[in-house]
Structure 1
Amino acid sequence: MKLPVSFVNYSMAIFWLCLSLSAQASPLPLLEDLQKDQQQAGNRFLLVLISQPDCSYCELVEEEILKPMQISGHYDQRLLFRNLIIHDGQELIDSAGNTVSATRFAHRYDSPLTPTLLFLNPANGEQLIEKMIGISTPEMYGFYVEKAVRKAHKKMLGLK
């Protein structure tokens, strides 16, 4: 079966558009100051990717799942994306105003493994729902993240 030229041209245009959007995507903002995040969050929660240098699965989650979510604008009213890079000397200010290493902060949530996704209330740093550790099924991971986002947002709003 031969495809019409217009279909092939349209498909190629979509492919290049998606490729250029993903290449232009800015990195996820670093988790640097929970007190500032609290001020700008409103009713939004923090979706925190715990990653580390040279972690191919962390890059996969960021590039294939979180950056496209961030670019879409669909989540702007529900969450703030943040990246917490452990084992590289990064420090942050926690919700109590204390400076703490990123690695120590991750250990507060019993999250030494990467990639891990935390769903946090920025007001107090409390976990809204259970964290997501690792990637068991890459082809379904986006679905699981979307499901977790909906659940965390409901909990942030005080809904069931």
Structure 2
Amino acid sequence: MSRVLKTVGRLCGCCLLALPLAVLASGDKLQTATDLRAEAERASRFGGPLILLFSRQDCPYCQTIKRDHLRPLASNLRYRDKVVVRQIDQDSDAPITDFGGERSTHSRFAAAEKIKLVPVVAFYGPDGKRLADPIIGTRLPDFYQSYLEQAIEKSVLALQRR
């Protein structure tokens, strides 16, 4: 019996060692937007904006913004329960429900929002209106987190005034 327990223990140890690698490998992934109206409503119930990253698969700057700034929001105690962050793929025909409840695709929604270059991080309320100026490009990398935090706070204030 102790041999079985040792084997199980070793397997569990291997799994625990592999877990950080899996987390690192998924470090630049964001949940893809599927229903903007529902996602914005959820964010609004938290008192914060729906944050959309407009991205492309071949955009290295988008990967950096996701990995270094947007993914960490999920673990930041200040924002974890306040914002919902989703990704819109400008080069994808994946289905999406827009703010009006209409069926569309990621690429059509990005075009309707007049997104030409990526990355763009935009902040929306439950009615689909922008709450703060979008962050276009990577700007100054050393100050990007500050830009992001300022836009979130501006969005929260705009929601409180409604």
* TM-score tier (shorter): 0.7 to 0.9
Q: Is the 8 A contact 2:30 2:66 kept in 1?
A: yes
- Please give the TM-score of this superposition, normalised by the length of structure 1: 0.78
Q: Is the 8 A contact 2:37 2:127 kept in 1?
A: no
In structure 2, the residue matched to 1:37 is: 39
Q: What is the distance in 2 between the residues matched to 1:37 and 1:145?
A: 19
Q: Unpaired runs of 5+ in structure 1?
A: 1-18
Q: Structure 1 residue aligned with 2:146, among 143, 147, 152?
A: 143
| Cα distance in structure 1, aligned partners of 2:41 and 2:159 | 15
1:75 aligned residue: 79
One-letter code of the match for 2:65?
A: V
**Taking structure 2 as the reference length, what is the TM-score of the superposition?**
0.77
Letter in 1 for 2:105: S
Q: 2:132 matched to which residue of 1?
A: 129
Q: Which has the larger radius of gyration?
A: 2
Equivalent residue runs for 1:1-160 within 5 Å: 23=24, 25=27, 27-41=29-43, 42=45, 43-121=47-125, 123-158=126-161
Question: Does the CA-based 8 Å contact 2:118-2:137 persist in structure 1?
Answer: yes
**Following TM superposition, by how much is the alpha carbon of 1:22 offset from its aligned partner in structure 2, in angstroms?**
6.3
1:119 and 1:21, CA in 2 relative to 1: closer, same or farther beyond 3 A? farther
Q: What residue is the counterpart of 1:4 in the other structure?
A: none
Question: Kindly tell me: are residues 95 and 54 of structure 1, through their superposed partners in 2, closer, same or farther at Cα, counting changes over 3 Å?
Answer: same
Q: Give me the whole-angstrom Cα distance separating, in 2, the residues matched to 1:81 and 1:102.
A: 15
Deviation at 1:63, TM superposition (A): 0.2
CA distance in 2, matches of 1:139, 1:20: 27
Percent identical: 24
Structure 1 segments, 4+ long, off by >4 Å, are: 19-22
Please report the RMSD computed on the Cα atoms of aligned residues, expressed in angstroms: 2.2
Unaligned runs of 5+ in 2: 1-19
